[in-house]
Structure 1
Amino acid sequence: MYNVADMLILVGVLLTLVFSGVHIAVSLGLASLLGLYMVTGDLQAMTSFASNTAYEALRDYVFAVIPLFLLMGEFLSKCGAASDLFALVNRTTRRIPGRLGVATVLANAVFAFITGVSIAAAAAFSKIAYPEMRRHGYERKFALGCIAGSACLGMLIPPSVLMIVWGVLTELAIGKLFIAGIIPGFLVVGLYTMYILWVAKTQPHRVGEGPNLPEPQRLARAGIDAMPVQDLRTILWSTVGILALVVIVLGGIWFGFFTPTEGAGVGATLALLLAMARGMKPREMMEAIVSVGRTSAPLLLLLVAAQLYSRVLSMTGVTGMAKEFFVNSGLSPYAVLVLMVLIWFALGAIIDSISIILLTVPVFAPVAMALGFDPIAFAIIGILAIETGLLTPPFGILVFTVKAAVPDEPDLKNGEIFRGSVPYWMALLVAILGIVIFPQLATWLPNLGNVVPVK
């Protein structure tokens, strides 16, 4: 066991590198090598341990989950699936106040089942839903906040990249994490929808309704009836195909027909067939494959560095020290949980979600288990808390994605989108409290199924 000073040096070096702007993978790798040298005092033993960890990580079967699920989502994104989803939900919610906002949330929820990446949803619906909302007289801040907030669902509803990373680090069954996100995901969808309906009822001018619309919004509604009407049969069959794909992949994982990795392979194959049936060209297919490679390769490097970092934390005693400190601190388990959530909130304002998981989960997860929290429920609480960072200034990545994707808005400022996203940030906080009080929201479905372990 190493002394406290050396352990503080190890953690301090890592945090200094991260906050100095060094890439998170490089920071984790350098800090891990330092910790190994502190333990062994031998450069050859240090390099041997690091290379063996990298080899074991890269040959691990579970690492194929990430590129395969990303490929499934990319194929369906390229073929216009997001546009079809929005068009169908929009048509079926015509009698609902604020229907375009509701349609955006519901379409994002379905789209989340095939992407696993919030940024993709934010970019897609900024181009699909935002022009429709503005054409119908929606307030700009409300429309942009709705798109950014509902894009968060991609990180909670399976297959989520955050869940995969969490499962790899903690050795939880990724299939169970996927299933655990379904009910909390629908809880967040319900909270978002209730907020939109409340706005439509109490402030109808914000959703382009009511008799006293401001002049810009009244003019924005001009020409709505002249909009082209899509072929309902085409979008219906497209949506049925997507829903069938979701049921086959998640149902197969839940009932134990295949592992998450095998399910990802099945999903990518079926998505390719569906995209080809929709007319995806070979050039678009290659673009999707290259895009997934560019996204997943750095992520896999991060996971290798994170596994090495996690092992070094255990070897140097950092994990044990943190566990002992919190267990013997006299604080209640819920007080410790609040501290963890506050740390996630703070980190969410300055670094990205995956980096937060890589930095904190190897320490936080063992502490939570020692305090008696269910590992599945704790994972969903953590992912929800980390998700808030996607909407938190100054570096909320979804806000910047929406800003970059919105067409023809030269005067748009990031602060306007951040303000519009506040109610959705608060809805995520309510969902966190709900799972803390009722952990069964996250644990009930996984305990019903027969999920095949990931390894």
Structure 2
Amino acid sequence: MFEVNIAVMLVVCLIILIAMGVHIAISLGMTSAIGIFLTTGADSYAFETVQRMLAATAYEAIRSYVFAVIPLFMLMGEFIGRSGVVTDVYRGINKLLHRIPGRLALATIIGNALFSFVTGVSIASAAAFSRIAYPEMKRFGYHKGFALGTIAGSSCLGMLIPPSVLMIVWGILTEQSIGRIFAAGVLPGALLMSLFLIYVFVMALLKPEVVGEGVNSSSEIDKQLNKDETNEVSIPQFLISLAGIFFVILAVLGGILSGFFTPTEGAGAGAIIGLTLGVIKGMRFRDIIDAILSVGRTSAPILLLLVTAALYSRTLAMTGMANAIEGLFLDSGMEPWMIIGVMVLIWFLLGMIIDSISIMLLTAAIFAPIAMKIGYDPIAFAIIGIIAIEAGLLTPPFGLLVYTVKAAIHGEGDNVQVMSIFKSSTPYWMIMLICMVAIIIFPEIATFLPNALF
């Protein structure tokens, strides 16, 4: 009973620290140290125990070969993002869809999907397409809220389409095959992208004013297309950039899914290919150094989070909290779908206040065993969890993707209200919920490719 009381106190302490604005890694470390100190007797020897556990956890948490996959995949995405290839592909798709209603929004969704194959971070996608797509949509009279909602919503594809940082972290935390999780994300990612495209196309037909129809006539649009030659891309340039992205996808993901590469080796190969592509596209030495430093600034906090989350998980295990939570779910008498519903609700609520990786670090190791015991396939549950966690980043009042988009257009001089972006991104949130329910009912959507390839 004493240990359970400590566990409850640790959870409450963690929530209070996060609510006060303390960084999640520091919050996890502080509560873990307090928990170990109290559990081991709160005496002079307890300090030594805290030190030993922290050192052992840090060593075991990041010494694994697989942890290199996170910065390497991020480096691949950074090189390709800075090369200008993504901009060329977006503008090329935009040009090819010239006569289709809502073509800029459709190009944004397709571009985000392609960009997702070369980067694993949805926030990076949101920032990139806010700078690439939003000025174009604004130029053609799109409703600003609709344009930004499309960018924020379609950026969620970044965490579902492999390679994804969330998939990598989930695989590490739950000791699942990262390659199988990558394969599991392909069909759900295609389904989600298709639903996004259908929504935008229907909106373009029902409310043409939100996509600039009626604001600009067809002849005026033609004039706009020819007005700024610097925003155009030639078809050969588009095809070369598109071929570069497809080569990365086939080389890296194809190598991983076929078993030729481990995920870490594939990430390393992808980083080399991304660097080569960047050099071909004109990246300078200074740009390469900036890309490496940018990845270091982003990946180092993630690795620190992994260490403190592992320490927190050990502390909860010492207090019996993980078993108590598992027993609470399994002995509640709820149907399996109701238990999954409670987990999804918790993910949505956490998504309002903290980032997706932190949510996963706090919940994946606890929820995944429960899902397996109530009969859910662990790979399908991984995709369900990733969609739910990512949807939380669109949930007001603190959806991080929305604030990323808002911050990225700061220099555009637009005074778009945050709630307007939240409102416009709500349909994408609902579509993600539909996709998640579909996988809960038909887990084969996620498990077909992993079972076929592995």
Give the alignment's TM-score, normalised by structure 1.
0.94
Distance 2:18 2:348 in 1: 17
What corresponds to 2:301 in structure 1?
A: 298
- After superposition, the Cα gap between the structure-2 partners of 1:82 and 1:9, relative to the gap in structure 1 and judged at 3 Å, is same
Does 2:225 align with 1:224?
yes
What corresponds to 2:393 in structure 1?
A: 390
Question: Alignment partner for residue 405 of structure 1, among 399, 404, 408?
Answer: 408
Q: Verify the 8 A CA contact 1:250 1:263 in the aligned structure 2.
A: yes
2:38 is paired with a residue of what secondary structure?
A: helix
What corresponds to 1:78 in structure 2?
A: 82
- After superposition, the Cα gap between the structure-2 partners of 1:197 and 1:216, relative to the gap in structure 1 and judged at 3 Å, is closer
What corresponds to 1:35 in structure 2?
A: 35
What corresponds to 1:137 in structure 2?
A: 141
Does 2:26 align with 1:14?
no
Distance 1:219 1:405 in 2: 28
More deviation, 100-109/81-90: 81-90
Distance 1:220 1:411 in 2: 25
Q: List 4+ stretches of structure 1 deviating above 6 A.
A: 215-222
Does 2:100 align with 1:96?
yes
1:411-435 per-position Cα deviation (integer Å, ceiling 9, x unaligned): 2211111111111111111111111
Distance 2:27 2:370 in 1: 23
Question: Alignment partner for residue 152 of structure 1, among 156, 162, 174?
Answer: 156
Question: Alignment partner for residue 196 of structure 1, among 196, 200, 208?
Answer: 200
Question: Alignment partner for residue 333 of structure 2, among 330, 333, 341?
Answer: 330
What corresponds to 2:174 in structure 1?
A: 170
What corresponds to 1:347 in structure 2?
A: 350
1:270-293 per-position Cα deviation (integer Å, ceiling 9, x unaligned): 111111111111010011000000
Letter in 2 for 1:359: L
Distance 1:215 1:365 in 2: 51
Distance 1:214 1:262 in 2: 50
Letter in 2 for 1:23: H
- 5 Å-filtered alignment, 1:166-315, equals 166-209=170-213, 213=214, 223-228=224-229, 229-315=232-318
More deviation, 50-59/285-294: 50-59
Distance 1:371 1:412 in 2: 45
Distance 1:261 1:428 in 2: 29
More deviation, 362-371/264-273: 362-371
Number of positions where the alignment pairs a residue of Structure 1 with one of Structure 2: 447
- After superposition, the Cα gap between the structure-2 partners of 1:35 and 1:244, relative to the gap in structure 1 and judged at 3 Å, is same
Identity of aligned residues (%): 53
Q: Report how far residue 294 of structure 1 moved.
A: 0.3
Q: Verify the 8 A CA contact 2:141 2:216 in the aligned structure 1.
A: no
Distance 2:332 2:419 in 1: 40
Q: Verify the 8 A CA contact 1:137 1:219 in the aligned structure 2.
A: no
1:143-199 per-position Cα deviation (integer Å, ceiling 9, x unaligned): 111111111111111111111111121111112111111111111101100001101
Distance 2:407 2:48 in 1: 47
Q: Report how far residue 3 of structure 1 moved.
A: 4.0
- After superposition, the Cα gap between the structure-2 partners of 1:304 and 1:3, relative to the gap in structure 1 and judged at 3 Å, is closer
Q: Report how far residue 94 of structure 1 moved.
A: 2.5
Does 2:60 align with 1:56?
yes
Question: Alignment partner for residue 123 of structure 1, among 105, 122, 127?
Answer: 127
Q: Report how far residue 90 of structure 1 moved.
A: 1.4
What corresponds to 2:445 in structure 1?
A: 441
Distance 1:222 1:245 in 2: 36
Letter in 1 for 2:51: T
Distance 1:214 1:271 in 2: 40
2:412 is paired with a residue of what secondary structure?
A: coil
Distance 1:145 1:8 in 2: 39
Q: Verify the 8 A CA contact 2:92 2:234 in the aligned structure 1.
A: no
What corresponds to 2:426 in structure 1?
A: 422
Letter in 2 for 1:199: M
Q: Verify the 8 A CA contact 1:391 1:418 in the aligned structure 2.
A: yes
Q: Verify the 8 A CA contact 1:138 1:217 in the aligned structure 2.
A: no
Q: Report how far residue 36 of structure 1 moved.
A: 2.2
Structure 2, unaligned stretches of length 5 or more?
none
Structure 1, unaligned stretches of length 5 or more?
451-455
Q: Verify the 8 A CA contact 2:37 2:50 in the aligned structure 1.
A: yes
Q: Report how far residue 224 of structure 1 moved.
A: 3.5
2:156 is paired with a residue of what secondary structure?
A: helix
Letter in 2 for 1:145: G
Does 2:379 align with 1:376?
yes
- After superposition, the Cα gap between the structure-2 partners of 1:219 and 1:331, relative to the gap in structure 1 and judged at 3 Å, is same
More deviation, 276-285/132-141: 132-141
Letter in 2 for 1:253: I
Q: Verify the 8 A CA contact 1:208 1:218 in the aligned structure 2.
A: no
Distance 2:400 2:328 in 1: 34
Q: Report how far residue 207 of structure 1 moved.
A: 1.3
- After superposition, the Cα gap between the structure-2 partners of 1:237 and 1:309, relative to the gap in structure 1 and judged at 3 Å, is same
Q: Verify the 8 A CA contact 1:10 1:35 in the aligned structure 2.
A: yes
Q: Report how far residue 248 of structure 1 moved.
A: 1.0
More deviation, 178-187/397-406: 397-406
Q: Report how far residue 215 of structure 1 moved.
A: 8.5
Q: Verify the 8 A CA contact 2:148 2:421 in the aligned structure 1.
A: yes
Q: Verify the 8 A CA contact 2:3 2:39 in the aligned structure 1.
A: no
Q: Report how far residue 249 of structure 1 moved.
A: 0.7
Q: Verify the 8 A CA contact 1:2 1:317 in the aligned structure 2.
A: no
